[in-house]
Amino acid sequence: MKIDHLSETMAAHGAGPAHRRLLLRNWARAEPLGRGRQRPEDFMPARLRDALPALAQTLAAVARVRSEHPGEDGSARLLVGLADGQAVESVLLPRDGVCVSTQVGCAVGCVFCMTGRDGLLRQVGSAEIVAQVALARARRPVKKVVFMGMGEPAHNLDNVMEAIELLGTEGGIGHKNLVFSTVGDRRVFERLPEGPVRPALALSLHTTRAALREKLLPRAPRIDPAELVELADAYSRATGYPVQFQWTLLEGINDGDDEVEGIARLLAGRYAVMNLIPYNAVDELPFRRPSWERAAAMARALHRRGVLTKLRHSAGQDVEGGCGQLRARALGRTDI
């Protein structure tokens, strides 16, 4: 389901361009349809006015919350059902953020990720992406949208860019508060700078060693980590936003002093933030998180080497943390 399909439905009910923008704006902000005019009935053709309840139903049917799982840290995980029976996860983040999914499943196949285990099942349409934000806004304020849920946004670029455009315009989200997360793909670096709304960039690096990266992210594009950092840095200079590098910390795999050296070599002095995120262990996968002390020592060492580093808890740890775990449970993949 794409935003264009919704626009066409609105047009079929007599909505011209201005009314379509208004209705999409109301939808993306989780407002009642027609709000924004003192007396909508004064401005809308009768046919469109009469169609508002039906349009509201059409918009509500794009995606619905199947279940909601609040966490102790202020986050909440939503299992979001799509019209064809598929499901994705969204996470309401502390401090007015939401993390949305861009694909059902994922083709990158990161070895530490539940979502990657089934491969790609289908793309999430641009309307389904915006609907996740609307569902979040029906529950709490949203000022930041991160495209870090299930899926690799670079593999669904048209839909993600359409959603970003609507959220960054009618949706009222600040452009630097739209965060496009990727494992690194040349199409991203070509197309993102050209869009009317240029989001901030988060790049999942995970290691500075090309050979290890090929093992951890087996179907990510083969781009050397040093080149990835250069490409991300160029985007950062073009937009004026720092790049957020993501690093899932796996005990004994990418938490060594050699990686600290590698990160310092690639990132020192750059306009970038390194986010160290201790892994959220799951029973089915053989990876473990390092101790908090080890993670903190890495962060301190990187700071000393001139790399702005944040050590993060991944939101929603106590509510099945880790992308795809809630959906896996809903499908009976793991014990509840």
Catalytic residues: 89, 323
Q: Of the two residues 34 and 321, which places its CB atom closer to ligand SF4 in the complex?
A: 321
Nearer to ligand SF4, 34 or 149 (CB): 149
Strand partners, 89: 79
Identify which of 76, 61, 85 has the alpha carbon closest to the alpha carbon of residue 330. 85
The Cα 161–Cα 157 span in angstroms is: 6
- The residues binding ligand SF4 (CB under 6 A) are 106, 108-110, 113, 115-116, 150-152, 183, 323
- Yes or no: say if 90 and 150 are a contact pair by the CB < 8 Å rule: no
Q: Which residue is nearest to ligand SF4 (CB)?
A: 116
Rank residues 76 and 150 by Cβ distance to ligand SF4 and give the closer one: 150
Q: Which pair of tokens denotes residue 106?
A: 């994922």
Q: Which residue in this structure is represented by tokens 């101790």?
A: 291
Q: Which is nearest to 89 in space by CA: 34, 41, 149?
A: 149
Strand order from edge to edge, sheet including 63-70: 63-70, 76-82, 87-93, 97-99, 144-147, 178-182, 200-204, 243-249, 272-278, 309-311
Which residues does residue 181 pair with via DSSP β-bridges, in sequence order?
202
Name the E strands within 133-230: 144-147, 178-182, 200-204
Minimum Å gap between C-beta 247 and ligand SF4 is 12
Decide whether 55 or 323 has the Cβ nearer to ligand SF4.
323
Q: Residue 51 or 328: which CB sits closer to ligand SF4?
A: 328
The minimum distance between CB 105 and ligand SF4, in angstroms, equals 8
CB of 289 to ligand SF4, least distance (A): 15
Read off the tokens for 156: 């669904």
What is the smallest separation between the CB atom of 246 and ligand SF4, expressed in angstroms?
9
Angle at 173 between CA 183 and CA 148, to 5 degrees: 25
**109 or 225, CB closer to ligand SF4?**
109
Instruction: For residue 304, give Cα distances in angstroms to 8, 143, 267, 299, 301.
Output: 55, 32, 12, 9, 5
Question: 262: closest CA among 277, 245, 279?
Answer: 245
Question: How far apart are CB 311 and ligand SF4 at their closest, in Å?
Answer: 19
CB of 92 to ligand SF4, least distance (A): 19
Residue closer to ligand SF4, measured from CB, 10 or 99: 99
- In the complex, minimum distance from the CB of residue 218 to ligand SF4, in angstroms, rounded to a whole number: 9
In order of 244, 253, 273, 316, the CA distances from 201 in angstroms are 6, 25, 11, 22
What proportions of the chain, in percent to the nearest 5, are helix, strand and coil? 40, 20, 40
Rounded-to-integer distance, Cα 83 and Cα 241, Å: 36
55 is written with which tokens? Answer: 């349009």
